[in-house]
Amino acid sequence: MKKKQGPKSEKSKTRPVKRKKVVHVEQTGVANIFATFNNTIVSICDHKGNVLCWSSAGKIGFKGTKKGTAYAAQQCADQVARSAQSMGVRKVEIRIKGPGPGREAAIRTLQTVGLTITSIKDATPLPHNGCRPPRRRRI
């Protein structure tokens, strides 16, 4: 007697094994650091603007006010630099945006991991007397 083959047969349970693609890119890239008071986002792109790898303090696991610390930015930059090195990136230009405390910590970490820094550019947006700014913070 033949066994009845329904939708839950042995063949439907096995899936093909997905293999990670090893991406090799140019040796130079652009590291964008967006440091606010609440979070730090680090991404590494190629010169066309395609993002190769990125990380943020929240993605790593920091929550609340700890996302805005320099240590969180350091961990974030470390993770991004290691994944970029595995793709083949060796030199980076750095573009920084924002006034947050993670600016210098992220740059220092990218350098200590082993990436060669070719240039550092501050791209923080400044108004040319456009909109009225929010009220001054009282601390």
Q: How far apart are CA 123 and CA 74, in angstroms?
A: 20
Cβ partners under 8 Å of residue 117, min gap 6: 91, 92, 93, 94, 107, 110, 111
62-94 confidence digits (pLDDT tens): 999 999 999 999 999 999 999 999 999 999 999
Residue 42 lies in a domain: yes
- The pLDDT confidence band at residue 2, using thresholds 50, 70 and 90, is low
Strand residues in the chain grouped as ranges (E): 28-35, 40-45, 51-56, 91-97, 116-122
Residue 46 lies in a domain: yes
Please give the residue range of the domain that contains residue 61: 28-122
To 5 degrees, how large is the angle CA 40–CA 41–CA 45? 150
Quickly count: other Cβ atoms within 10 Å of residue 132's Cβ.
7
DSSP state of 96: E
Q: What pTM value is reported for the model?
A: 0.77
pLDDT at 36: 94
Into how many domains does the chain fold?
1
Residue 92 lies in a domain: yes
